Amino acid sequence: MASADREVQCPGDKPVTRAMVSSGDSPSAAIATPSTTNDHLEVPFEAAFEDTFGEAPPDELNGELHLTVVASDLDASSERIVAYLRDFGVPINAVFFSYLEDDDRRYLARSWLVTDSEPGGSTRKGKRASWNGQDCYVAFGGNPGRIWDDARTHGFISAGGGLHYSGKLRTLPTGARVNAYVPGHGYVAAGETLGPARRFDEVEVRDDYQWVPLRALPLQGTYQHPGADIDELAEWVVPVRWESSVPLDEAYWEKGMFANPNPVCELRQEFTLERLADRFGTSEA
C-alpha cells in the first residue's frame, strides 16, 4: 500500500478566548500551564482542572489573555515593573483615564503606557504542548453499525457518514501511532497504521499475515451509510497493527485525560500520553 502524503492536522482545538484578569471563574481565564505534577496539588493538574471546570484542559491555555492595569496615574516604580514584565513576554499594559473640563464641556481622555506598535509582551501567545509527530487521537464509534470487536479482531479503525467524520481519518499517514478512544467508555488500544484510508468496500486489512478484503471477513457491524456510493458519505477504513488492545468493557479512562469531539487529531497532552504508555506498554516518543 502506498503511504499517505499528508500529515494529521489538529482539528477542533478549543481556542482560549480573551479574558479579563478578574475572570478567574472560567477555564479560559485560568492562569496555569499544563503539567502532570504540581507541588501545590494532591492530584495531577489535569484532574484538578476537570474537577473545577468540568472538562479536561485544552492543548493551549491563555492564548489571548492580556493583563491591563487601569489607573488615573502610575508611579515610576510601577512603570518599571510593567516594562520589566513585558521584556519577558508577559502580555501586560497600563491604561490611564483623565477627567477634563473646558467651560461647560467635559472630557474623559484615555492613554496607554505602551502603544500597540511597540514591541513587548502584548503579542505573546499562550503555552501549548508540542506534538511528538507520532501520536494521534482517534475516536471510534458513534454509530451502531461500527463495532469495536470487529476493529480489534481484524486490525482497523474507521469513520464515515460525512466528510466531518471521515475527512481527517483520510489524512492519517502510514506509520502513525493511533490511540483508539471509544466515546463514553475510554481508550481501548494503541497501534500503528499500516496504510492509507480506503473505502470500506475497497480496503484490505492484515489477517494471518496476508492482506484480505475487509468486506470478506465475518463482521458484526454493517459499516454502511445512506448514499455511501459517494465518497464523502462512505465508511473509510485505515488498517492498523494493534500493539495492545482491550475489550470495550475494559476501556481505560482517568479524570483529566484528553478527549475530543473530532474523530482525529494530534494527541499532545503529556498526562494522557504517559498513562496510555503505562496502560498499553507503548514507548513515549
Host H or E run for residue 276: helix 270-280
Question: 17 versus 167: which is more confidently predicted?
Answer: 167
Please count the residues of the chain.
285
pLDDT at 61: 64
Of the candidates 229, 82, 116, 246, which has an alpha carbon nearest to the alpha carbon of residue 179?
246
DSSP β-bridge partners for residue 143: none
Q: Whole-angstrom Cα distance, residue 91 to residue 67?
A: 6
Distance between CA atoms of residues 194 and 205, nearest Å = 9
Q: Where are the alpha helices (DSSP H) in 68-113?
A: 76-87
Q: Residue 124's pLDDT is what? A: 45
More confident residue, 249 or 35: 249
What is the pLDDT confidence band of residue 127, given thresholds at 50, 70 and 90? low
Can you give the pLDDT at residue 234? 95
pLDDT, tens digit, 9 for 90 and up, residues 200-214: 999 999 988 899 999
Q: Give Cβ neighbours of residue 147 (< 8 Å, ≥ 6 apart).
A: 219, 220, 221
Residue 180: the pLDDT is 98
DSSP state letter for 183: T
pLDDT in tens, 259-271: 988 899 999 999 9
* H helix runs in 10-169, sequence order: 45-53, 76-87, 148-154, 163-166
Strand 127-128 to 135-139 pairing: unpaired
Q: What is the mean pLDDT of residues 176-193?
A: 96
pLDDT digits (tens, 9 = 90+) for 9-67: 444 444 333 233 333 343 434 334 444 455 656 777 777 877 788 777 776 666 677 88
For residue 171, give the 3-state DSSP assignment: helix
> Distance between CA 259 and CA 241 in Å, rounded?
22
Determine contact, residues 220/185, Cβ cutoff 8 Å: no
Cα–Cα distance, 223 to 13 (Å, whole number): 28
Q: Which residue has the higher pLDDT, 179 or 19?
A: 179
For residue 75, pLDDT beyond 90: no
Distance, CA of 249 to CA of 234 (rounded, Å): 28
- Is a pLDDT exceeding 60 seen at residue 159? yes
Q: Is the dihedral of CA 16, 21, 25, 31 positive or negative?
A: positive
What integer pLDDT is reported at residue 50 of this predicted model? 76
* Interaxial angle between packed helices 45-53 and 270-280, expressed in degrees from 0 to 180 and rounded to the nearest 10: 120
| pLDDT value of residue 113 | 82
Q: Quick one: cell of 14?
A: 478549543
Residue bearing the bigger pLDDT, 159 or 143: 159
Residue type, 5: D
pLDDT at 153 (0 to 100): 96
- The average confidence (pLDDT) of the chain is 80
**Between 56 and 164, where is the model more confident?**
164
Phi, psi (deg, nearest 5) at residue 226: -60, 130
Integer angstrom CA distances of residue 70 from 65, 90, 92, 110, 169: 16, 17, 11, 10, 48
